[in-house]
Amino acid sequence: DLASTYDAGRAYELDRAHVFHSWSAQAEISPMVITRAEGSHVWDGAGQQYLDFSSQLVFTNLGHQHPRIVAAIQEQAGHLATVAPAFANGTRSEAARLIASHTPGDLDHVFFTNGGADANEHAVRMARLHTGRHKVLTTYRSYHGGTQLAVNMTGDPRRWASDHGSTGTVHFFGPFLYRSAFHATTEAEECQRALEHLEQVVALEGPSTVAAIVLEAIPGTAGIMVPPPGYLAGVREICDRHGIVLVADEVMSGFGRSGRWFAVEHASHGAGVVPDLLTFAKGVNSGYVPLGGVAISDAVHATFAHRSYPGGLTYSGHPLACAAAVATIRTMEDEDVVGRAERLGADVIGPGLAALAAKHDRIGEVRGTGAFWAIELVSDRATREPLAPYGGSSPEMGAIVKGCQERGLLPFVNFNRIHVVPPLTTSDEEVREGLAILDDALAATA
Ligand code: PLP
């Protein structure tokens, strides 16, 4: 019954007996039981409250139990809970219209998927059929999803176990000045050298074999590296010159996270960088019901005007997921949530993290925009030696995370980094509280 479902001890016991968890050694994990959530807070089985600085997996952009999203799902469930993708449905049509009204340029057609990985799989399939070419270029230090092609495209250690090298996926270095692959010392130098490098990779792979360049507009899990001005415009220009499809993965960076509706808008600054395909998920409906998708340009759409698109999903454009998207996007419009995210970054998170960096030697760099920030922790500021190795953890990182949790903060952690990625609706006061906890946890473990 419902009461026993909510008993934390039993939830934990049954989880350990029957639930197989993502990216984990099953016998070595002890997952926190979450029994309740509201806004930017969650409660564990012992009743302890946590401020969620992770937005779970960077998806609860409007926080937990937002009344408008919950009501929209309930209303849709009471009216028409599901319908197959071949039919037209008002909620799905409205979700597509709203998404298209915010995606840049002519990205006006939406193919709905269940999440981010399959959105990227389909974007690449579209690019391959559109160009008649096979190869896909993606960056190191990226994450594109856990399915076969998406994990091959991924440029972080989660790729290693499943990379059979058979997909024509080639990796290149994106710009990342703090750990420059090009020995650059300024953003301008990093930008120029990263573009020269990409140009060479394209030339040596053979431009006529490359279907797509796929990159996160701002790499997320890999470290929130905001590209230098001009980088995305440069990639757009390389793609145009060689007839390559540009795919922007905005699964994490999209729907307001970066302080713009989409992160590609930062780089364009009026220069008008519009990708040919843009993939999204997570923030599109705050993750209340699984939903992702590909926003498609007129040119790629035209390829499939009289040629059947060879792909589909049972739940493409599921009404419950689309109802959640409609409510999320309308709330974002009505409450200027994107502007709020921008101000949160400029006025609270950015200055707050700069103050922490001035205080704690183990902070090598802080960087980000909107509600999308990374703290790069190092054991030595001069050598920039990371506080945990690439792809691994360390007792030092573990202690900081434990210190945060004991003080009521749930941080997002990846290797030697802590990301500050709260819901976009988190109040200034709550963000300051979270930063104070981080400050304490760093001081207590120094
Ligand atoms: N792309 C990016 C940039 C992501 O951050 C993620 C998930 O974290 C994905 C794709 C995969 O999305 P999903 O887990 O919904 O398949």
Using pLDDT thresholds of 50, 70 and 90, give the confidence band for residue 161.
Answer: confident
Domain boundary among 310, 334, 358: 334
| 283, 259 contact by CB (below 8 A) | no
Rounded Cα distance between 24 and 82, Å, is: 33
Q: Which of 61, 251, 289 to mutate to test the pocket of ligand 1 (most atoms within 8 A of CB)?
A: 251
Amino acid of residue 311: G
Q: Is the pLDDT of residue 133 over 60?
A: yes
Using pLDDT thresholds of 50, 70 and 90, give the confidence band for residue 4.
Answer: low
Same domain, 425 and 291: no
> What's the gap in Å between 116 CA and the centre of ligand 1?
5
Q: In this predicted model, what pLDDT tens digit does every residue of 193-238 receive, in sequence order?
A: 999 999 999 999 999 999 999 999 999 999 999 999 999 999 999 9
**Is the minimum distance from the CB of 252 to ligand 1 under 6 angstroms?**
yes
Same domain, 60 and 87: no
- Confidence at residue 216, expressed as pLDDT on a 0 to 100 scale: 97
Same domain, 176 and 231: yes
Same domain, 414 and 432: yes
Go through 182-203 and write b for each residue having 16 or more CB atoms within 10 A of its CB, e for each that does not: bebeebebbbbbbbebbbebbe
Nearest to 271 by CA among 232, 309, 319: 232
| 143, 156 contact by CB (below 8 A) | yes
Rounded Cα distance between 72 and 59, Å, is: 18
Same domain, 121 and 232: yes
**Is the minimum distance from the CB of 155 to ligand 1 under 6 angstroms?**
no
Same domain, 149 and 234: yes
Residue of 17 and 167 predicted with greater confidence: 17
Phi, psi of 105 (to 5 degrees): 55, -135
Alpha helices in 155-280 (DSSP H): 187-205, 231-242, 264-268
Rounded Cα distance between 426 and 412, Å, is: 16
**Is the minimum distance from the CB of 217 to ligand 1 under 6 angstroms?**
no
Task: Count the neighbouring beta carbons within 10 Å of the beta carbon of residue 2.
Answer: 5
Using pLDDT thresholds of 50, 70 and 90, give the confidence band for residue 165.
Answer: low
Considering the domain boundaries, does residue 8 fall inside one?
Answer: no
Joined together, the tokens standing for residue 311 give: 């792909």
Q: In this predicted model, what pLDDT tens digit does every residue of 384-420 receive, in sequence order?
A: 999 999 999 999 999 999 999 999 999 999 999 999 9
Q: In this predicted model, what pLDDT tens digit does every residue of 273-293 receive, in sequence order?
A: 999 999 999 999 999 999 999
Considering the domain boundaries, does residue 2 fall inside one?
Answer: no
Dihedral sign computed on CA atoms, order 137, 143, 144, 149: positive
Specify which residues 419 forms β-bridges with: 374, 412
Rounded Cα distance between 170 and 183, Å, is: 22
Residue 8 CA neighbour count, 13 Å, CB half: 13
Among the ranges given (57-61, 154-158, 268-272, 425-429), the one the predictor scored with the smallest mean pLDDT: 268-272
- Ligand 1 atom 7: residue of nearest CA: 145
**Is the minimum distance from the CB of 231 to ligand 1 under 6 angstroms?**
no
> 44 by DSSP, 3-state: which?
strand
Rounded Cα distance between 442 and 431, Å, is: 16
Nearest to 275 by CA among 303, 308, 238: 238
Same domain, 340 and 330: no
| C-alpha of 195 from chain center | 23
Angle between helices 428-445 and 350-359 (to 10 degrees): 20
Same domain, 243 and 108: yes
- Confidence at residue 297, expressed as pLDDT on a 0 to 100 scale: 98
Joined together, the tokens standing for residue 396 give: 């030092």
Q: How far is CA 89 from CA 345, 395, 409, in A?
A: 38, 52, 41
Considering the domain boundaries, does residue 4 fall inside one?
Answer: no
- Confidence at residue 160, expressed as pLDDT on a 0 to 100 scale: 87
Using pLDDT thresholds of 50, 70 and 90, give the confidence band for residue 127.
Answer: very high
Q: Tell me the pairing of strands 135-139 and 210-216.
A: parallel
Considering the domain boundaries, does residue 17 fall inside one?
Answer: no
Joined together, the tokens standing for residue 14 give: 């049954």
What CATH code is carried by the domain that includes residue 269? 3.40.640.10
Considering the domain boundaries, does residue 327 fall inside one?
Answer: yes
What CATH code is carried by the domain that includes residue 58? 3.90.1150.10
Q: What percent of the chain has pLDDT over 90?
A: 93
Joined together, the tokens standing for residue 52 give: 């969620």
Which atom of ligand 1 is nearest to 145's Cα? 11
Q: Is the pLDDT of residue 268 over 60?
A: no
Rounded Cα distance between 251 and 220, Å, is: 9
Nearest to 76 by CA among 87, 86, 61, 89: 89
Residue recorded with tokens 């599921």: 318
- Confidence at residue 272, expressed as pLDDT on a 0 to 100 scale: 74
Same domain, 100 and 220: yes
Joined together, the tokens standing for residue 298 give: 């007129």
Considering the domain boundaries, does residue 406 fall inside one?
Answer: yes
Which atom of ligand 1 is nearest to 146's Cα? 16
- Confidence at residue 298, expressed as pLDDT on a 0 to 100 scale: 98
Amino acid of residue 312: G
- Confidence at residue 270, expressed as pLDDT on a 0 to 100 scale: 46
Same domain, 134 and 222: yes
Considering the domain boundaries, does residue 286 fall inside one?
Answer: yes
Q: Is the pLDDT of residue 106 over 60?
A: yes
Q: In this predicted model, what pLDDT tens digit does every residue of 248-258 receive, in sequence order?
A: 999 999 999 99
Same domain, 154 and 252: yes
Domain boundary among 295, 310, 334: 334
Same domain, 58 and 73: no
Joined together, the tokens standing for residue 351 give: 């200055």
Structural domain count, the chain: 2
> What's the gap in Å between 255 CA and the centre of ligand 1?
14
Report which DSSP code applies to 81.
-
Q: In this predicted model, what pLDDT tens digit does every residue of 334-346 receive, in sequence order?
A: 999 999 999 999 9
> What's the gap in Å between 114 CA and the centre of ligand 1?
11
- Confidence at residue 2, expressed as pLDDT on a 0 to 100 scale: 56
Domain enclosing residue 51, as ranges: 32-65+336-445
Considering the domain boundaries, does residue 420 fall inside one?
Answer: yes
Q: Which of 121, 141, 144 to mutate to test the pocket of ligand 1 (most atoms within 8 A of CB)?
A: 144
Domain boundary among 334, 361, 376: 334
**Average pLDDT taken over every residue of the chain:** 96
Q: DSSP letter string over 85-107?
A: TTS--HHHHHHHHHHHHHSSTT-
